[in-house]
């Protein structure tokens, strides 16, 4: 009976309502839907990946420090040169 064309709307309403009723019974106020996949790995494998990422971040941090020092020296040099030339009329 629920599979008939006339009952299609009722059937869909039941399909939508059932999960809502279960959520209410379990006192679940909201949910989060995540699209994609998750991979569970052993702790040792995960730790290796974490260590690799930390090393990469340290390299970028050191590079950032060196770059900022170089840029500072360049700006000081440019300012010094600019102060030795007379201003344009």
Q: Quick one: pLDDT at residue 4? A: 83
Of 49, 53, 30, which Cα lies nearest the Cα of 41?
49
H helix runs in 1-89, sequence order: 8-25, 43-84
What are 16's two structure tokens? 């939508």
Q: What averages of pLDDT result for each successive group of 10 residues across the chain (89 residues)? A: 80 86 90 77 86 84 80 72 55
The torsion angles phi and psi of 36, rounded to 5 degrees, stand at 125, -160
Question: What pLDDT, on the 0 to 100 scale, is given for residue 9?
Answer: 86
């Amino acid at each position: 009976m629920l599979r008939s064309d006339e009952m299609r709307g009722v059937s869909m309403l039941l399909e939508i309502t059932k999960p809502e009723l279960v959520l209410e019974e379990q006192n679940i106020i909201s949910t989060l839907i995540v699209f994609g996949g998750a991979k569970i790995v052993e702790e040792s494998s995960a730790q290796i990946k974490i260590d690799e990422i930390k090393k990469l971040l340290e390299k970028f941090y050191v590079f950032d420090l060196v770059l900022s020092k170089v840029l500072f020296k360049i700006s000081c040099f440019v300012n010094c040169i600019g102060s030795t030339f007379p201003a344009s009329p």
